[in-house]
């Protein structure tokens, strides 16, 4: 008897969500599911948290020691001694600031949805273990971002980044 294929899932959490925001939540769920598929980790679980600058600033101060708002934070579940061995389970959380994303979308001349998609891809790459602290790491991460962005949002432009 064949083993059933394990499916993970995507949860989008948004504390201040209104009925008018359902389309954005559905888009983030779809993009998250497409990322799990594109990275061949469909059995994993991804949480996406949409929040504001005040909340992400608290997270950034608590977890990174930087008392300022940022656009995206990633919290991988595969780090440290308690990391689950291969297979299913949570991959991690990507926290996106809608305030910062909206400002960056205007600055980059693109829609909020496209900016959030790129930030989700960026945060997802961190969950997969990519980083951009060193030039060789940054080049690898950029390439993976471009590959994933092309899969989940064909035609979407990659905004300029400092790495």
Where exactly are the structural domains of the chain? Answer: 9-76+90-152
Task: Say if strands 44-51 and 9-14 run parallel, antiparallel, or are unpaired.
Answer: parallel
Which superfamily does CATH assign the domain made up of 9-76+90-152 to?
A: Metalloproteases ("zincins"), catalytic domain (3.40.390.30)
Q: What's residue 18's pLDDT? A: 77
As a whole number, mean pLDDT of residues 118-134 equals 96
Q: CA–CA distance from 105 to each of 12, 69, 72, 98 (Å)?
A: 20, 16, 14, 10
The tens digit of pLDDT for each residue in 74-103 reads 999 986 544 455 567 899 999 999 999 999
Helix (DSSP H) and strand (DSSP E) numbers for the chain: 5, 4
- Residue written as token pair 């909206």: 102
Task: Tell me how far apart the alpha carbons of residues 159 and 115 are, in angstroms, rounded to a whole number.
Answer: 8
* CA separation for the pair 104, 100 (Å, rounded): 6
13: number of Cβ within 10 Å: 13
pLDDT at 80: 53
Q: Could you tell me the CA-to-CA distances from 137 to 30, 121, 140 in Å, in that order?
A: 28, 16, 5
Please tell me the predicted confidence (pLDDT) of residue 87: 64
Cα angle 59-121-14, degrees, rounded to a multiple of 5: 45
The token pair that represents 36 in the structure block: 């799990």
């Amino acid at each position: 008897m064949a083993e059933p294929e394990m499916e993970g899932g995507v949860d989008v959490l948004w504390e201040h969500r209104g009925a008018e925001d359902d389309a954005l939540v559905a888009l983030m769920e779809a993009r998250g599911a497409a990322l799990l598929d594109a990275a061949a980790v469909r059995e994993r679980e991804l949480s996406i948290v949409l929040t504001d600058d005040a909340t992400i600033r608290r997270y950034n101060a608590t977890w990174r020691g930087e008392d300022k708002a940022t656009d995206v934070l990633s919290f991988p579940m595969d780090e440290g001694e308690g990391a689950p061995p291969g297979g299913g389970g949570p991959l991690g959380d990507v926290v996106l600031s809608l305030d910062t994303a909206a400002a960056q979308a205007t600055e980059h001349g693109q829609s909020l949805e496209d900016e959030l998609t790129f930030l989700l891809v960026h945060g997802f790459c961190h969950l997969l273990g990519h980083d951009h602290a060193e030039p060789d790491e940054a080049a690898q991460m950029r390439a993976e971002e471009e590959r994933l962005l092309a899969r989940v949002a064909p035609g979407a432009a990659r905004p300029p980044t400092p790495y």
